[in-house]
């Protein structure tokens, strides 16, 4: 153990309060407790665990979706889907559907925006591929449909009927193949559907009205086959948000590259089923480089008075608020391209991976549910190289060179996994370490088997009780679990241990408890400076105890040390105990440094 950590108790149960009242200044907290005016003890913090969890979505509730030049088709999914789930730290993938026409020509959903008619029979093999998949992790997969290669005249009823029919085919395929929905890429890689052409003989308003009708037509077609579809658009109104910041959006939209897309989207809202979810994937997230940038963009997509909703017809704004989510695109090539490239992100604290982690976490926190992670120069799926080199000639002069992402940017898989769900990633990492016999628990007297040599507290642990109501006892107990920490009839109090930590480090923390009677236990992780001052109170972490089989419960979480902190403080807290039969035992504390 580092010399910076003194394992001896630093506060007794009774004398700490007197020392605090004599020496602590306003708004300061001493090593053992909290002084006026903020008197929240660890036990009191425990009471708001469930409340805090209800107010903010957990990172685990967010979904990371992979999309890139390594996009799989259904045949690849069929043979490789289990391997893909092991290789990619995602919740799902965007895939393409390919088929053969009656005369042997190829068709693809990546190039389906045309007047060509499709036959449903062409896609029987693709449906068989999807039905053969047995995904266990990738539960949010999306079928990609691109707005390319043609521009269909807004008045071309036959052309739009053909396009609606194709999207109905895709929605039915997605439904029967247990796919989450359709990913729509409105970028015109061929002719531009969305740029207003004044030479067409109609005004912008007249053309926008036609575009709205066509949006409704396509949404109606999707909904007829898949009423609960999630439509993950790579961008919607976010791409022309600047038009929503002026008094007359139409004047801006008439000149924009995507000027007719808001009208088309209005039509989609008109015809969307009540169960349908539409995601504005905000591809402009590629260029964002701060927490503030992502939060500002999300607010602009969500707000009743934001620029995105200003581009929505007034009668549809309530539906927009109910059914449209804010999402983000995230561009991985930014973190492998060389300095000087237009798509480049510089290192953070000497590491480009750290900047990736920070930005991806910012995108995750700002999104409602989905972040789609896009890359071109590298690949996630090793199976792509089985038959032939993957884009060898096309990518040979790039920084990525078509390698696996983990080869091009070592550590990227773990970084994305942690950003996606740090608790799940930490559990897996610790399990792997334990299997190798390489897990070093940093907690002192973690199993509470050491007997006190003086006093009643377990060695390595100090304690605190609410000085206004210092009832009950916090002590070592030899009779439970080969030794444990026991809190009995404590209105509010905790056991405390301090461990050295450095800003940016990530730790996994767990503990077990057995509670009897009226008691509310929780683990709180807090932070101190090297001088012993409490810091970054907004970054306190509350770990709730969850059933683990039998009477014992387990709390588990992962925390990252904030800037300026040099000590991680573990508090095993209780509150609400009233009688001698209200008892809680703590045992088997584990603290692992993950970095």
pLDDT tier at 234, thresholds 50, 70, 90: very high
pLDDT band at 29 (very low <50, low <70, confident <90, very high): very low
Domains of the chain, by residue range, sit at 15-57+441-593, 70-106+113-142+158-179, 194-325, 327-337+344-420
- On whether the CB atoms of residues 539 and 495 are closer than 8 A, the answer is no
CA torsion angle 304 281 267 258 (round to 10): 100
Average pLDDT on 176-191 reads 96
Residue 479, pLDDT score: 95
Using CA atoms, how far apart are residues 264 and 580, in angstroms rounded to an integer? 68
Separation CA 327–CA 371 (nearest Å): 6
Residue 566 in tokens? 């040099």
Please report the pLDDT score of residue 392 as a whole number: 81
Q: Band the pLDDT of 550: cuts 50, 70, 90.
A: confident
Per cent of the chain over pLDDT 90 is 86
At residue 563 the predicted structure's pLDDT band, cuts being 50, 70 and 90, is very high
Helix, strand, coil % over all residues of the chain, rounded to 5: 35, 25, 40
In this prediction, residue 59 carries a pLDDT of 65
Residue 504 near residue 560, CB atoms below 8 Å = yes
Model confidence at 40: pLDDT above 80: no
User: Once rounded to an integer, what is the mean pLDDT over residues 432-456?
Assistant: 95
What does the mean pLDDT of the chain come to?
A: 89
Kindly tell me if the per-residue pLDDT of 480 is higher than 60. Answer: yes
Residue 595 confidence class, pLDDT cut points 50, 70, 90: confident
Sign of CA dihedral 152, 158, 164, 168: negative
CATH number for the domain whose boundaries are 15-57+441-593: 2.60.120.260
- The pLDDT value given to residue 386: 78
Q: What is the pLDDT averaged over residues 141-154?
A: 97
Instruction: Work out the average pLDDT over 212-238.
Output: 98
Report pTM.
0.86
Query: Would the pLDDT of 46 be above 50?
Result: no
Is the model's pLDDT at 448 over the cut of 80?
Answer: yes
Q: Name the residue with higher pLDDT: 390 or 39.
A: 390
**Token output for 358:** 């920070």
Helix (H, G, I), strand (E, B) or coil at 583: strand
Res 58: pLDDT: 60
Q: Which of 48-62, 91-105, 201-215, 233-247 has the lowest mean pLDDT?
A: 48-62
Does the pLDDT value for residue 517 go beyond 60? yes
Predicted pLDDT of residue 15: 32
Instruction: Report the pLDDT value the prediction gives residue 291, as an integer from 0 to 100.
Output: 96
> 93-142, pLDDT tens digit by residue?
999 999 999 898 999 999 999 999 999 999 999 999 999 999 999 999 99
Report the first-to-last Cα separation within the chain, whole angstroms. Answer: 17
Token pair listed for 335: 């973190």
Query: What would the pLDDT profile of 68-78 be if each residue is shown by its tens digit?
Result: 999 999 999 99
> Would you call 212 exposed, middle or buried from its count of C-beta atoms within 10 A (0-12, 13-18, 19+)?
buried
At 25 the pLDDT is 27
Identify the pLDDT of residue 227: 98
């Amino acid at each position: 153990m580092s010399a910076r950590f003194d394992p001896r108790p630093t506060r007794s149960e009774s004398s700490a309060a007197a020392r605090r009242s004599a020496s602590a200044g306003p708004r300061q907290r001493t090593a053992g407790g909290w002084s006026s005016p903020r008197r929240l003890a660890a036990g009191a913090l425990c009471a708001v665990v469930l409340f805090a969890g209800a107010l903010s979505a957990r990172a685990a509730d967010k979904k990371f979706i992979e999309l890139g030049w390594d996009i799989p088709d259904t045949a690849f999914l069929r043979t490789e889907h289990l391997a893909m789930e092991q290789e990619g730290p995602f919740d799902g993938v965007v895939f393409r559907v390919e088929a053969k026409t009656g005369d042997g020509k190829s068709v693809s959903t990546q190039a389906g925006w045309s007047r060509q008619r499709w036959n449903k029979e062409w896609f029987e093999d693709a449906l068989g591929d999807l039905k053969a998949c047995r995904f266990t992790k990738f539960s949010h997969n999306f079928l990609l449909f691109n707005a390319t290669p043609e521009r269909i005249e807004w008045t071309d009823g036959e052309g739009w009927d053909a396009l609606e029919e194709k999207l109905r085919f895709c929605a039915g395929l997605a439904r029967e193949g247990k796919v989450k929905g359709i990913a729509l890429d409105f970028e015109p890689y061929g002719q531009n559907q969305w740029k207003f052409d004044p030479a067409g003989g109609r005004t912008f308003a007249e053309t926008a009205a036609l575009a709205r009708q066509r949006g409704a037509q396509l949404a109606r077609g999707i909904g007829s086959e898949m009423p609960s579809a999630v439509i993950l658009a790579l961008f919607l109104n976010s791409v022309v948000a600047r038009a929503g910041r002026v008094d007359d959006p139409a004047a801006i939209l008439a000149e924009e590259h995507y000027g007719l897309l808001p009208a088309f989207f209005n039509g989609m809202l008109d015809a969307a089923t009540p169960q349908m979810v539409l995601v504005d994937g905000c591809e402009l997230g590629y260029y964002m480089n701060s927490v503030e940038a992502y939060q500002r963009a999300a607010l602009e997509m969500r707000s009743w008075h934001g620029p995105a909703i200003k581009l929505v017809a007034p009668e549809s704004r309530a539906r927009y608020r109910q059914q449209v989510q804010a999402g983000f695109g995230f561009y991985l090539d930014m973190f492998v391209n060389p300095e000087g490239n237009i798509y480049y992100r510089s290192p953070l604290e000497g590491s480009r991976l750290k900047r990736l982690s920070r930005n991806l976490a910012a995108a995750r926190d700002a999104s409602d549910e989905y972040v789609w992670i896009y890359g071109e120069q590298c690949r996630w799926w090793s199976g792509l190289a089985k038959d032939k080199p993957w884009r060898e000639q096309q990518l040979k002069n790039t920084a990525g060179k078509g390698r696996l992402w983990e080869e091009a940017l070592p550590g990227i898989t773990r970084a994305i996994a942690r950003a996606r769900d740090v608790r799940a990633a930490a559990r897996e990492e610790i399990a792997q370490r334990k299997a190798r016999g390489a897990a070093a628990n940093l907690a002192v007297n973690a199993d509470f088997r050491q007997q006190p040599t003086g006093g009643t507290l377990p060695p390595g642990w100090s304690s605190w009780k609410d000085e206004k109501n210092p009832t009950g006892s916090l002590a070592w107990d030899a009779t439970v679990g080969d030794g444990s920490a026991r809190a009995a009839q404590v209105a509010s109090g905790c056991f405390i241990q301090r461990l050295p930590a450095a800003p940016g480090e990530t730790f996994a923390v767990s503990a077990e408890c057995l509670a009897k009677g009226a008691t509310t236990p929780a683990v709180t992780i807090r932070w101190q400076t090297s001088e012993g001052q409490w810091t970054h109170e907004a970054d306190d972490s509350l770990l709730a105890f969850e059933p683990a089989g039998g009477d014992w419960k387990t709390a588990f979480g992962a925390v990252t040390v904030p800037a300026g902190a040099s000590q991680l403080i573990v508090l095993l807290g209780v509150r609400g105990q009233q009688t001698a039969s209200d008892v809680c035992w703590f045992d088997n504390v584990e603290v692992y440094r993950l970095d």
